[in-house]
Structure 1
């Protein structure tokens, strides 16, 4: 990898999806068309897949949630950031400082992630539930914080939700996919992403991020750290144009191989990158709806024009492992 790799952002209109699978389902077995040319490409957009430099890869399903029931019902998901062995378990659920695991202040987020058991500064659970199930679809709902709960919830402008599989499911290599609609609006920042199970950062794989101020614009990005001699964090990713992303469900996925990371929309490869250093540990999945961002363009801070209530609709989330692994 070069010592300095600038962020690469370019828009791309999507070609029709490869029809090897019904993208409306998450079958027990899956075949993905992947790039096979020498893995010397550092980071590129795939506008047209060369049949002579591709093949089909067979995978089997290892994780699946189609959200026919509440996501917390079977303890497959955790409703806050995890990690940090020294962090007292009770601090996840309330008390001063408990908001540290329920937002990313460095990003300038203006929401707090809640769940029915979270009590904030109160002495009892507040019963706030941002997760709604309707006809097999999960909605993560962000809502303006009621005035009477502002102080209890550390003066955050919104309540919202996050789900992570840290401690319940992680995997080294394989394919990770979400089928969702991408909400829009000033301050709206939905995401589906992967982090290393050892709690370090980076590496990070952003399978999907929506720029709320730019309807139809979604981002797929890889983040990694250079060697200790330089220590800088590098990133490479692309914006993609999906005009109906807010109104129609689409599949957004990433395939992590030993030599490359390949991003997919509707199971068609749209970009890839040679695997940077540091991608050594299994990774777990995160899906969340943040509100407000200072470091991610196209989201902005919430204001009077931001929706009072917004939903990140998710039909399913699945993971697959490569048969050879």
Structure 2
């Protein structure tokens, strides 16, 4: 989601209805998905109406799960800022004039700063700001207007909000990554669940879910990569309409196989793309609630119509790896070598 000065391919589509008793609420240790099996190209395509003959089962085992029964910073699985690499002093994550660089992406036109109880900004001691709330197993990342008296020490940002990343703790190459969430709306509201390469490079980037706050129910799923010969950034993705996305929990996921990336809504495939060049390293997960954007359409800049407070409610975030004993095998072009099973990633976290 971040670092985007990009134009996405936009369209609207009807998505699966909500179930009264949702069978997708739990995160089983093993999961089977119906994945697209037809050959894919570098140009992404919609597949939301794929028939059974165009799908193949892929069996997965869980490698990461957080049900958010406790504060997300209580167990060390998440960090509340972007990582700066090995050369970035630890102290600069928690305050000082350069700490802003790890707590927002200014070129996007963001008008929030990501805080946590340890963060001091330009003050001499931690400000004790907590944008994370846990209630009944649901995490809320809360964006609220910055108290006027704190603006000078928070780089004059209009909002305080939160970000969580697994960089340095959990990353994985290949597999299925899923968030179960309600997608908030409002002028300037920009929630996202996305992934970056663990080596710190950009792109590649996978945006499993982004919300356009000014367009309720409009959800974006996008792949970003770089052409090595020209260094040009390419993007391919779609908008999907889910009318009750702000009111009901839904599952938003992405399967990264050796030959393709497939996006899912409520575990039904909605689009796919051939894995672009440059997707060589494990990727880590990021979930955040930004406020304000210059470039991402349908978000807008913060103004008097923006909510005083808004919550990104998250029931669960999970990751799975493709079962090496029951690997996903889409059909190969004539004369091609069969795909070997891959098994890269972390051990089960729960």
Q: TM-score range by the shorter chain?
A: over 0.9
Aligned to 2:183: 182
Which moves more between the two structures, 204-213 or 47-56?
Answer: 47-56
Which structure 2 residue ranges, 5 or more long, are not aligned? 1-5, 325-342, 344-350
What SS does the aligned partner of 1:125 have?
A: coil
Cα distance in 2 for partners of 1:289, 1:158 equals 11
The 1-side partners of 2:170 and 2:124 are apart by 31
Consecutive unaligned residues of structure 1, counting only runs of 5 or more, are none
User: Whole-Å Cα distance in 2 between the matches of residues 199 and 321 of structure 1?
Assistant: 22
CA distance in 1, matches of 2:23, 2:232: 41
CA RMSD in angstroms comes to 1.5
Quote the Cα distance in structure 2 between the aligned partners of 1:261 and 1:231.
Answer: 22
* Distance across 2 between alignment mates of 1:169 and 1:280: 16
The equivalences for 1:46-65 within 5 A come to 46-65=47-66
Cα distance in structure 1, aligned partners of 2:57 and 2:96: 51
- What's the offset of the Cα at 1:192? 0.2
Shift of residue 22, structure 1, vs aligned partner: 2.5
Residues 1:212 and 2:200 are matched in the alignment: no
In the TM superposition, what is the alpha-carbon distance from 1:313 to its structure 2 partner?
0.2
- SS of aligned partner of 1:246: coil
Deviations 1:134-179 (A, max 9, x none): 0000000000000000001010000000000000000000000000
Secondary structure at the aligned position of 2:38 is classed as coil
Q: Deviations over 1:206-236 (max 9, x none)?
A: 0000000000101000000012x21100000
CA contact (8 A) 2:40 2:272 kept: no
The reply to whether residue 302 of structure 1 matches residue 302 of structure 2 is: yes
Contact in 2 for aligned 1:109/1:290 (Cα 8 Å): yes
**What is the distance in 1 between the residues matched to 2:291 and 2:183?**
13
Structure 2 residue aligned with 1:24: 25
Task: Could you list the structure 1 runs, at least 4 aligned residues long, displaced by more than 3 angstroms after superposition.
Answer: 15-18
> 1:236-275 alignment to 2 at 5 Å?
236-275=236-275
Number of aligned residue pairs: give it: 318
What displacement does 1:10 show? Answer: 1.0
* TM-score (norm. length: structure 1): 0.95
* Number of the residue aligned with 1:313: 313
Q: CA deviation at 1:295?
A: 1.1
